[in-house]
Amino acid sequence: MSTLPTQPTRPDLILVNGRVTTMSTNAGDAEAEAVAITGDRISAVGADREIRELAGPGTTVVDLAGRRVVPGLIDSHVHIVRAGRTWRDEVRWEDERTLETGLAAIARRAAERPEGSWVKVVGGWHPAQFPEGRGPSREELDRAAPDHPVYVQFLYDWAVLNTAAMRELGVDHALVRELGAQGFRAESFETGPDGELTGKVSGTPLMEWFYRRMPAPTFEEQVASTAEMSRELNRLGITGAIDGGGFNSGPAAYPAIREVWRRGQLTVRTRLAVHAERAGTERDDLAGYQRYTALDVGDTLLRVIGVGEVILYRTVDKIGHPVEIGDEVRQQFREIFGELARNRWTVHAHAHQHATIDAVLSAWEEVHAEHDISPLRWSLVHAEPLTPADVDRIAALGAGVLAQGLYRFQGEEAIETWGAETVAEAPPLRTILERDIPMALGSDAMRVASYNPFATLAWFLDGRTVRGTETLAPRHLLTREEALRGYTAAGAWFSFEENERGRLEPGLLADLAVLSDDYFTVPQELIPRIESVLTLVGGRVVHTAEPFAELPVTAFEPQGVSRA
């Protein structure tokens, strides 16, 4: 069935001869051959012949030669504000397939930068993606970049510094003793058989300590870096993102992305879930946001939608690291969530461990008894070990779940922590869908996961870690259509935009991606290598690759007054 405008139009752009997945709510309109775009909206979707007839003298017609078209991907939980500020500062290893090529990438970056400047790889990769099955040694980093401090981090588990970095940060036995007096464990610093420090360190607190002492980019560097990251996400078909906050992402983190938006250089529709800057100030910080930050003020490219993901720093758990949930924490949850409900703010709350899930849901239920939160679209982020009873509680609250493919990197750790039987049901994706609970998919990049949406989508289809370990039970694996919906239409619900984007239907924003390979037919193992060869945001071309490289990339208009 074709979906055509009620009155003749003359589109600005027509994409023809394609295989268009619309994600339409009408099953009869799920597939089409062509799309017409007028301004920033889709004006028609249908059969090739019908859409061609809409063309006028000024219409650009692009022949897709049978390529797959999907709605622009929405990463529903990602940390692009933080990552964007240092994007140019970092070497990305997501696509490196050997340690040797990863080291070569470090060497190339070092050759491009002045002697003494830092070279960093900060997450987004896993040793198991390399045939060597390991990360780099200090000696290998020394050979790759002898005149540059180098820092390579794996998740929040461990990092390796080269000799220049150790010298720059004063890493020696005296520092180990000094930090030990401040509560850091001596065993966080690895030593070799000779008792000397190897350059490998472990533990989130220590990595944060190091990172704060590395030179920060200037504001202009942060702006240019964020704009560059935005285009890189477009290369993978991403047109939207919900930034979940994260460590080091308090009020001081947001000026760079706002400046990118002001200059018309933001090409990913970004929704901000803001959060407190540090432990101990959460309630005051969140109260300040509620007092001075107007919700949903901005344009279709950038605005604040609520708070997340850290509500209390002391409750930030991990798969292998539970936190203590006592009466004081529960009371603080009730108070903070109550204030947010009274002010009608959306909440995206981090929880990996079941004790944390229970504490959050219990607080929500108490608040809900006084202030109806069902219209506010509150959601649990991660929430792997949900029980059937938890799913019932989420449904009763009108809440949702933001799920990520974190087992792709951390599946073995989850099995070691919870056991294979528990992991097979965590998260219970099929149960969530059967209860019609809103569920969107995302990456949780850039530190603990790859930002590549197709790598994440592949995990939801097979549940395998990068080592090949099976995690989810087969019944919880998603179909390709279900997974894609989780990365498109479902994501729009969490920012109150299900009638604005996420599907290719007339009247909705023209955000779409033309794929390098057909997501629905390409062999499973090749899905992570899919890219976009043509990405549109609001009908504007924001990324091209062959065979569409000659299409001009268009710019957005600056918004307001630049603060530069």
Kindly report the pTM of this predicted structure: 0.94
Q: Are strands 512-515 and 68-71 parallel, antiparallel or unpaired?
A: antiparallel
* Helix intervals (H) in 22-125: 48-52, 80-85, 99-112
Mean pLDDT lowest for which of 1-10, 261-270, 454-463, 531-540?
A: 1-10
Residue 226 above 50 pLDDT?
yes
Q: Which two tokens stand for residue 123?
A: 């997450």
pLDDT attached to residue 563: 54
Distance CA 437, CA 483 (A): 15
pLDDT attached to residue 26: 85
Distance CA 107, CA 111 (A): 6
Confidence of residue 7 (pLDDT cuts 50, 70, 90): very low
Distance CA 88, CA 73 (A): 23
For residue 491, what are the CA distances in angstroms to 243, 392, 396, 449, 476?
A: 12, 21, 20, 18, 19
Please state, for a pLDDT cut of 70, what percent of the chain lies above it. 97
Residue for token pair 């990595």: 207
Residue 560 above 70 pLDDT?
no
pLDDT attached to residue 251: 83
The pLDDT mean for the chain works out to: 94
186-206 mean pLDDT: 93
Q: Are 374 and 412 contacting, i.e. CB atoms less than 8 angstroms apart?
A: no
Residue 293 above 70 pLDDT?
yes
Question: Measuring CA to CA, which residue among 520, 544, 549 is closest to residue 531?
Answer: 544
509-519 mean pLDDT: 98
Q: Which helix (H) or strand (E) holds 144?
A: helix 138-144
pLDDT attached to residue 555: 84
| Other C-beta atoms lying within 10 Å of the C-beta of residue 98 | 12
Distance CA 528, CA 462 (A): 12
- Tell me the residue length of the chain: 564
Domains along the chain with CATH numbers:
87-212 (3.10.310.70), 219-540 (3.20.20.140)
Distance CA 402, CA 404 (A): 7
**SS3 category, 268:** coil
In single-letter form, the type of residue at position 18 comes to G
**SS3 category, 125:** coil
Q: Which two tokens stand for residue 128?
A: 């198991």
| Eight-class DSSP state of 321 | B
Confidence of residue 296 (pLDDT cuts 50, 70, 90): confident
Residue 278 above 90 pLDDT?
no
456-466 mean pLDDT: 98
Question: Measuring CA to CA, which residue among 189, 22, 124, 35 is closest to residue 445?
Answer: 124
pLDDT attached to residue 345: 97
Distance CA 380, CA 519 (A): 28
With a CB cutoff of 8 Å and minimum separation 6, the contacts of 433 are 439, 482
Distance CA 426, CA 483 (A): 16
Q: Which helix (H) or strand (E) holds 531?
A: none
Residue 3 above 70 pLDDT?
no
pLDDT attached to residue 564: 54
Residue 197 above 60 pLDDT?
yes
Torsion angle, alpha carbons of 104, 107, 113, 119, to 10: 90
Confidence of residue 360 (pLDDT cuts 50, 70, 90): very high
pLDDT attached to residue 531: 98
pLDDT attached to residue 274: 93
Please state, for a pLDDT cut of 90, what percent of the chain lies above it. 88
Q: Are strands 13-16 and 34-38 parallel, antiparallel or unpaired?
A: antiparallel
**SS3 category, 362:** helix
Residue 111 above 90 pLDDT?
yes
In single-letter form, the type of residue at position 440 comes to A
147-155 mean pLDDT: 96
- What does the DSSP assignment read for 326-356? -HHHHHHHHHHHHHHHHTT-EEEEEE-SHHH
- What does the DSSP assignment read for 452-519? -HHHHHHHHHH-B-TT--B-S-GGGPPPHHHHHHHTTHHHHHTTT-TTTSSS--TTSB--EEEESS-T
Distance CA 442, CA 487 (A): 7
pLDDT attached to residue 1: 46
Confidence of residue 562 (pLDDT cuts 50, 70, 90): low
410-436: pLDDT as tens digits: 999 999 999 999 999 999 999 999 999
Mean pLDDT lowest for which of 39-53, 186-200, 481-495, 550-564?
A: 550-564
